[in-house]
């Protein structure tokens, strides 16, 4: 059996039992083949994201050694359920990016119900909670391309703009996000706005002194200092938030008729393009997190892996980490 057929068969087996296939969906599933597998391979070569994923795994192992083995096993089981849910969601993201605009506009797509305990905001909900109406097939492909280059779309990106990146080389996408965050000749950048939001967050309070100085280093273009610092913040925040989310699961609100539910949907609805890119970004960071109580972990608390210690971290790496931290912060942020 060819690689193409094995990939299509895997998606079919995992998704079809939990999704009503609309017109166009079956064909979309059949077209998940080598181009997307190549995209995943390209993503795995992103050194800064590889380092983040490695450090999250190390921190997760370290933090779980501080609790009883029985509780640690319970947390690991919940994480594994989240990883299975993310895997199904990733395949659905790649499938829905190929579904026709006509089928999407007709609301003939039914999202599968998949629980992701670690990230309840990303659990596959009813269709009216993930809003794709303003997007097009090209915009969905753009969101996928952006995510495969290591970024998550933001609320300041219009669907039409996202669509423009559907076939863009990674350097063009990197350049766009770097300018959006760090500024350029005619644009000051969104770093101050993002920094103010993160520094004001109660969830990031314990990292506030480090974050403040990190953002100062970013503005001074000291990326060799700011990149390891951002990795350290993400590693600690992700593990702490992950354990908290799994310790205190939040139940999903089901669809109900009535004005209160309509008001809730307006507040809680997730933009479909952000949802798609966030699913891929989070899956890359957490897909391989495993707990091995007997193994060694986290000896080099503040360092980076030896094979990456000589890398010249740059402004792209720094901006990508700011984007990742902002995305994780939103995903773990408790709604009032």
3-class state of residue 143 by DSSP: helix
Task: Give the lowest-confidence range in 26-40, 49-63, 100-114, 170-184.
Answer: 26-40
User: In terms of residue numbers, what domain contains 39?
Assistant: 3-332
Mean pLDDT, rounded, for 104-130: 72
Report yes or no: 18 and 88 within 8 Å, Cβ to Cβ.
yes
Task: Give the lowest-confidence range in 27-31, 97-101, 175-179, 258-262.
Answer: 258-262
Could you give the percent of the chain with pLDDT greater than 90? 30
pLDDT at 125: 62
Number of domains comprising the chain: 1
The pLDDT confidence band at residue 6, using thresholds 50, 70 and 90, is: low
* This prediction's pTM: 0.77
The pLDDT confidence band at residue 33, using thresholds 50, 70 and 90, is: very low
- Distance in angstroms (rounded) separating the CA atoms of residues 29 and 7: 10
CA-based nearest residue to 61, from 48, 79, 34: 79
For residue 107, what are the CA distances in angstroms to 56, 90, 101, 330? 38, 20, 10, 27
Q: What is the CA radius of gyration of the chain?
A: 20
The pLDDT confidence band at residue 187, using thresholds 50, 70 and 90, is: confident
pLDDT at 70: 83
Tokens of 335: 């709604």
Provide the mean pLDDT of the chain: 76
More confidently predicted of 97 and 110: 97
Report whether pLDDT(109) > 90: no
Report whether pLDDT(233) > 50: yes
pLDDT at 29: 43
Report whether pLDDT(105) > 80: no
| Alpha helices for the chain (secondary structure H) | 3-15, 25-30, 34-44, 47-64, 69-96, 101-105, 137-148, 159-163, 170-182, 191-199, 208-219, 223-247, 259-268, 272-286, 315-332
Report whether pLDDT(230) > 90: yes
The predicted-structure confidence for 305-335, as pLDDT tens digits, reads as follows 445 555 678 999 999 999 999 999 999 987 6
pLDDT at 229: 94
pLDDT at 249: 74
């Amino acid at each position: 059996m060819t690689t193409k057929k094995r990939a299509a068969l895997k998606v079919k087996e995992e998704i079809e039992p939990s999704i009503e296939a609309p017109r166009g969906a079956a064909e979309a599933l059949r077209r998940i083949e080598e181009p997307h597998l190549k995209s995943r391979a390209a993503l795995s070569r992103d050194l800064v994201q590889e380092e983040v994923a490695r450090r999250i795994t190390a921190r997760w192992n370290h933090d779980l050694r501080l609790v009883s083995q029985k509780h640690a096993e319970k947390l690991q089981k919940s994480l594994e359920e989240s990883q299975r849910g993310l895997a199904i969601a990733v395949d659905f993201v790649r499938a829905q990016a190929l579904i026709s605009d006509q089928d999407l506009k007709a609301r003939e797509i039914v999202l599968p119900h998949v629980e992701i305990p670690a990230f309840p905001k990303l659990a596959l909900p009813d269709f009216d909670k993930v809003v794709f109406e303003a997007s097009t097939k090209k915009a969905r492909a753009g969101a996928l391309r952006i995510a495969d280059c290591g970024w998550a779309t933001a609320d300041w990106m219009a669907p039409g703009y996202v669509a423009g990146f559907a076939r863009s080389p990674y350097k063009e996408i990197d350049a766009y996000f770097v300018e959006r965050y760090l500024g350029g000749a005619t644009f000051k950048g969104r770093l101050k706005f993002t920094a103010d939001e993160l520094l004001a967050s109660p969830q990031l309070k314990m990292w506030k002194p480090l974050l403040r100085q990190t953002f100062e280093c970013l503005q001074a273009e000291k990326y060799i200092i700011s990149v390891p610092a951002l990795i350290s913040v993400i590693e600690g925040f992700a593990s702490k938030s992950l354990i908290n989310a799994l310790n205190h699961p939040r139940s999903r609100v089901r669809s109900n008729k009535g004005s209160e539910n309509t008001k809730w949907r307006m507040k809680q609805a997730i933009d479909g393009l952000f949802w798609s890119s966030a699913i891929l970004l989070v899956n890359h960071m957490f897909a391989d997190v495993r707990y091995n109580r007997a193994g060694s972990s986290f000896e080099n608390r503040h360092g980076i892996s030896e094979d990456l210690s000589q890398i010249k971290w740059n402004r792209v790496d720094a901006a990508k980490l700011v984007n990742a931290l902002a995305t994780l912060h939103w995903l773990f942020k408790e709604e009032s």
